[in-house]
């Protein structure tokens, strides 16, 4: 009899333990959901630009947080910018989002674009450690770029070609130089792609000029960019309006499936001929030095009688390689200022 009673008790205890197991998991899930809800409610209370334009922002932000939970596991992130915008990404509404993620020393802004229905259909990470343009300039560098400016970035949400689908347009500040940035969604590649690779210059941090401005030039829509003229633009005649010996405005527009330099941008359209004789010797010295490799340079540089009609010529002593072997060479420039290299 005692054996029977013990057996019944053991069965009862076993069933009780089995029933408790899923209940524990259920409670854990409820707690996790409550924590996420509290976090989302905290984010919603922030004064986030354009949050009022979004239907069901709590649910949208819950989905975004769930997608990034692994990435942000050891920190408490916050959304500081969210904007609904049509990038042409299929599957649902498109959103641009800036997450601010604190680390041990500072905070790190990270840029994402999402396509969301009742789930996240597409998610594109567009970089972290985004540099605030205010760290580079004290003037409004975004003043000539239309669209919705994304705070603390050099980017704007703008329909650059008027087709109803927006792009990210503006500035990308990097340790390897500062670049005009235009990013768009490519349906063929199913990703965000770069449509522009043009370097710009900021000459005066206090007074500018702002290095990018949208213009219509000679009946073509595009933008002008303030650049340092180097042999990178050797396919184009040197600028007719050279500023401080090395800078010029160039006009850029759509060309061969990207935005590229088309020609020099001239405010005064009467300046149609390049006058090689108004350029100082330093302009040609810089062009020759840029032409040479990093392991070579100029020992001497002297202008001589031109060997090309309407052009200019320079006699140089060039050293090459680690042994600094010297060679006498002449560099000729034609009437358009293009280099004709001859020994």
Residues 137 and 109 both lie in one domain:
no
- Taking CA atoms, 106 is separated from 38, 121, 174, in Å, by 24, 31, 19
Contacts of 88 (CB under 8 A, 6+ apart): 94, 165, 184, 185, 187
Query: pLDDT, tens digit, for every residue of 233-278?
Result: 555 567 777 777 778 899 999 988 899 888 888 876 655 566 777 7
> Which residues make Cβ contacts (< 8 Å) with residue 71, sequence separation at least 6?
none
Of 283, 306, 281, nearest in space to 231 by CA: 283
Low-confidence stretches of the chain (pLDDT beneath 50): 3-32
The pLDDT value given to residue 282: 82
Q: Compute the distance between CA of residue 214 and CA of residue 222 in angstroms, rounded to an integer.
A: 6
Residue 173 sits in the same domain as residue 244: yes
In a domain, 94, yes or no: yes
Q: Could you tell me if residue 117 is inside a domain?
A: yes
Q: How far from 166 is each of 152, 158, 255, CA to CA, in Å? A: 20, 5, 19
Torsion 107-112-116-118 (CA) sign = negative
Do residues 60 and 140 touch, judged by C-beta distance below 8 A? no
Q: How far apart are CA 283 and CA 290, in angstroms?
A: 11
Look at strands 177-186 and 78-84 and give their pairing: unpaired
Residue 1 domain flag: no
Single out the residue in 221, 244, 273 at which a domain terminates: 273
Residues 304 and 235 in one domain: no
**Residues 121-137: pLDDT tens digits?**
999 998 776 778 888 88
Residue 137 lies in a domain: yes
pTM: 0.69
For residues 142 and 235, state if they share a domain.
Answer: yes
What integer pLDDT is reported at residue 8 of this predicted model? 44
Q: What is the pLDDT of residue 328?
A: 92
Residue at which a domain ends, from 104, 129, 154: 129
C-alpha span between 52 and 253 (Å, rounded): 35
- Helices 57-68 and 2-45: crossing angle in degrees, nearest 10, is 110
Q: Say how far apart CA 258 and CA 225 lie, in whole Å.
A: 15
- Residue 326 in any domain: the answer is yes
Both tokens of residue 33?
């959901």
The Cα–Cα gap between 200 and 225 comes to 7
- How long, in residues, is the chain? 343
Task: Name the token pair of 75.
Answer: 């920190």
Structure tokens that stand for 228 in this block: 């340092």
Kindly state whether residues 327 and 260 are assigned to the same domain. Answer: no
Residues 191 and 315 in one domain: no
Whether residue 75 sits in one domain with residue 145: no
pLDDT of residue 248: 86
pLDDT given for residue 121 in this prediction: 94
120 and 187 assigned to the same domain: no
Q: Domain check: are 267 and 286 in the same one?
A: no
Asked which of 273, 295, 320 is the last residue of a domain, the reply is 273
Residue 37: predicted pLDDT: 56
Same domain assignment for residues 45 and 120: yes
Task: State how far Cα 200 lies from the chain centre.
Answer: 12
Structurally, how many domains does the chain consist of?
Answer: 3
Residue 180 lies in a domain: yes
The answer to whether residues 212 and 317 belong to one domain is no
Query: Does residue 311 sit in helix, strand or coil?
Result: coil
CA atoms within 13 A on the CB side of 37: 6
Is residue 58 in a domain? yes
Residue 13 lies in a domain: no
Q: Which of 153, 108, 29, 51 is nearest to 64 (CA)?
A: 51
Q: Are residues 269 and 288 in the same domain?
A: no
pLDDT at 185: 96
Range of the domain at 314: 277-342
DSSP string for residues in 121-190:
EEEEEEEESPPPGGGT-SS-TTTT--SEEPTTSSEEEE-TTSSS--EEEEEEEETTEEEEEEEEEETTTT
């Amino acid at each position: 009899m005692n054996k029977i009673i013990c057996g019944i008790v053991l069965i009862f205890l076993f069933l009780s333990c089995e029933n408790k197991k899923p209940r524990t998991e259920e409670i854990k899930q409820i707690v996790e959901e409550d924590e996420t809800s509290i976090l989302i409610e905290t984010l919603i209370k922030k004064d986030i630009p354009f949050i009022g334009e979004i239907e069901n922002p709590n649910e949208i932000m819950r989905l975004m947080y769930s997608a990034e939970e692994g990435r942000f596991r050891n920190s408490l992130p916050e959304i500081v910018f969210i904007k609904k915008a049509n990038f042409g990404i299929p599957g649902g509404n498109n959103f641009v989002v800036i997450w601010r993620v604190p680390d041990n020393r500072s905070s790190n802004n990270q840029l994402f674009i999402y396509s969301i229905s009742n789930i996240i259909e597409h998610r594109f990470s567009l970089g972290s450690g985004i540099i605030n343009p205010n760290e580079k300039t004290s003037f409004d560098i975004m003043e000539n770029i239309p669209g919705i400016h994304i705070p603390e970035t050099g980017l704007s949400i703008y329909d650059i070609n008027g087709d109803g689908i927006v792009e990210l347009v503006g500035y990308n500040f990097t340790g390897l130089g500062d670049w005009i940035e235009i990013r768009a969604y490519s349906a063929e590649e199913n990703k965000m792609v770069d449509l522009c690779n043009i370097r710009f210059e900021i000459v005066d941090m206090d007074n500018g000029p702002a290095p990018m401005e949208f213009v219509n030039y000679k009946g073509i829509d595009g933008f002008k960019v303030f650049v340092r003229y180097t042999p990178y633009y050797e396919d184009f005649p040197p600028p007719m309006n050279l500023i401080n010996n090395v800078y010029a405005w160039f006009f850029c527009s759509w060309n061969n499936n990207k935005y590229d330099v088309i020609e020099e941008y001239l405010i005064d359209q009467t300046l149609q001929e390049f006058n090689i004789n108004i350029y100082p010797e330093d302009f040609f010295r810089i062009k020759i030095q840029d032409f040479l490799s990093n392991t070579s340079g100029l020992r001497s540089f002297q202008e001589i009688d031109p060997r090309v009609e309407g052009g200019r010529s320079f006699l140089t002593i060039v050293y090459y390689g680690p042994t600094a072997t010297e060679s006498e060479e002449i560099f000729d420039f034609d009437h358009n200022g293009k280099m004709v290299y001859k020994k």
